[in-house]
Structure 1
Amino acid sequence: MTFVQLIDCRTSRFGEMDRLMDRWVEQTKGKRTATHDMIGKDRSDGSHFVEIVEFPSYEEAMENSRLPETDRIFQEMVALCDEPPTFTDLDVVRDEQLYKATARRFYDLLAADTAELPPMDEVLAENYHDHDPANVEDNIGMDHIRREMQMWRDAFDFTFELHDQIADGDRVCNRFTWRGTHKGDFMGIAPTGKQAAMTGTTIFRFGEHGKIVEGWWQYDRLGLMDQLGALEGLEQ
């Protein structure tokens, strides 16, 4: 379960504290378990700051706290505060709605009516891992999955209709209908101009910064090939 810690403090020496945070980031490179860190300033009180630190779990947050660099920087941070900081520990119990919205955005971007495939980095992690039973090997990494997506876009003008989304923890299951017009070469099949449709599901796993890090696809590719006429003459 994602864990968030809020650190509430008052200081008239924020410039020094900001440099202190930069030093902590540098000293803990490759060791810290925090996935996201941000500091907000109170608009009505310029000396009031809240730091929000996100971790994959409470256990990993405790691992981060045990780093000697963290303890040393924390002592220096307390010395810069006008009064002792307060801490609020939070288990994240609801972020599924944001995950579902990101999943919907993924399908919108993939099917966007644009000459070029839109940037996908707002929804996909750079190391995204794609599981598609139609492919001999998984696609891993942004460059590989973009080539796969472009192959589909070059072959079809298509849309997705989402029927159901079910969120559970860091995963969202999506049930969809895909509809496309065959306009370019697809798996060696010359453009037919035919309209085709197929149903399918995708399970997305979300990770750092709320982006999709892994996907599992199931869809009626055999039915699609039949609609394109690729199976004619194969029936007994």
Structure 2
Amino acid sequence: MTFVQLIDCRTNRFDDLNRLMDEWVAQTRGKRTATHAVVGKDLSDASHLVEIVEFPSYEEAMRNSNLPETERIFREMVALCDGMPTFTDLDVVRDEQLNCAVARGFFDAVAAAPEPDRLREYLTDDYVDHDPSYPQDVQGFEAACDVFANWRTAFDFTFRIDDQIAQEDRVCTRWTWVGRHTGDFLGIPASGQEVSMTGMTWHRFREGKICEGWWQTDREGVLEQLGLTTR
């Protein structure tokens, strides 16, 4: 279970504390078990800082605490603070990446039936689609819906989500696409052939919806499976 530690302290020497944290990161490289750290400054009190450190588990957090570098940095941190920092240990019972959930819903909607009403839940009106297999970017919600509808006309398909990572306003999804050729595709009449491809899509979000997408797909692999090309 993911474990989070909150470190609450007060100091007027934020720059010194920041350099100390940089030093800890450098000295524990290859040994630390912390996976994510965020430092926040209280908007109403600039001397009040909260650091949030994430670990894979409580046991991994204890291993991290027992590093000699962690012990030394902690002593120096205390010297920079106005009083002893306080620690709160938390087992994470819910961790939901909201944009990741929207991205998963988008892939389900495209595969099920790319109807504008359903896709409008996921895409902004000014959505832009970047795909190197197209001569130019697809501009706007309606144009993107047409592209998705063309794929749905040519194939009965599903997406399997293999991996997702989120950073700030972006989500990257690694997926596997599996389809059956049921309609015209680049002039090829329906063959009933089962085809598949892998790919990745980066999505940029604005106010909870996807406003931009970048696709990397193995479309050549689909053409090869349909007998059009060889590698």
Change (3 A) 1:197 1:21: same
Indicate conservation of the 8 Å contact 1:11/1:47, yes or no: yes
Structure 1 position 13, deviation (Å): 2.1
Identity of aligned residues (%): 52
**Greater shift after overlay, 202-211 or 38-47?**
202-211
* Alpha-carbon distance in structure 2 between the residues aligned to 1:31 and 1:45: 34
Find out whether 1:203 has 2:161 as its counterpart: yes
Q: Please give the TM-score of this superposition, normalised by the length of structure 2.
A: 0.57
Letter of the 1:231 counterpart: S
- SS of the counterpart of 1:180? helix
Task: Provide the residue aligned with 1:71 in structure 2.
Answer: 71
Describe how 1:1-236 pairs up with structure 2 within 5 A: 1-98=1-98, 99-104=100-105, 113-114=128-129, 116-117=130-131, 150-151=132-133, 153=134, 179-180=149-150, 195-206=153-164, 215-223=174-182, 228-229=188-189, 231=191
* Alpha-carbon distance in structure 2 between the residues aligned to 1:30 and 1:230: 53
**Greater shift after overlay, 98-107 or 67-76?**
98-107
* Alpha-carbon distance in structure 1 between the residues aligned to 2:45 and 2:16: 18
Q: Please give the TM-score of this superposition, normalised by the length of structure 1.
A: 0.56
* Alpha-carbon distance in structure 1 between the residues aligned to 2:173 and 2:29: 25
* Alpha-carbon distance in structure 1 between the residues aligned to 2:23 and 2:160: 42
**Alpha-carbon displacement from aligned partner over 1:159-178 (angstroms, at most 9, x marks no partner):** 68xxxxxxxxxxxxxxxxx5
Indicate conservation of the 8 Å contact 1:198/1:221, yes or no: yes
Letter of the 2:62 counterpart: M
* Alpha-carbon distance in structure 2 between the residues aligned to 1:3 and 1:209: 20
Letter of the 1:15 counterpart: D
Structure 1 position 103, deviation (Å): 3.5
Indicate conservation of the 8 Å contact 2:155/2:181, yes or no: no
* Alpha-carbon distance in structure 2 between the residues aligned to 1:56 and 1:214: 22
Structure 1 position 204, deviation (Å): 3.8
Letter of the 1:33 counterpart: T
Q: Which runs of 5+ in 1 are unaligned?
A: 118-149, 161-177, 183-194
Indicate conservation of the 8 Å contact 2:182/2:191, yes or no: no
**Alpha-carbon displacement from aligned partner over 1:56-90 (angstroms, at most 9, x marks no partner):** 33332222222211111011111211111111122
Change (3 A) 1:31 1:219: same
Change (3 A) 1:218 1:51: same
Change (3 A) 1:79 1:40: same
Structure 1 position 215, deviation (Å): 4.0
Change (3 A) 1:44 1:181: closer
* Alpha-carbon distance in structure 1 between the residues aligned to 2:47 and 2:88: 19
Structure 1 position 223, deviation (Å): 3.8
* Alpha-carbon distance in structure 2 between the residues aligned to 1:63 and 1:206: 28
Letter of the 1:28 counterpart: T
Change (3 A) 1:59 1:51: same
* Alpha-carbon distance in structure 1 between the residues aligned to 2:3 and 2:66: 16
Letter of the 2:149 counterpart: R
* Alpha-carbon distance in structure 2 between the residues aligned to 1:42 and 1:29: 29
Q: Which runs of 5+ in 2 are unaligned?
A: 111-121, 193-225, 227-231
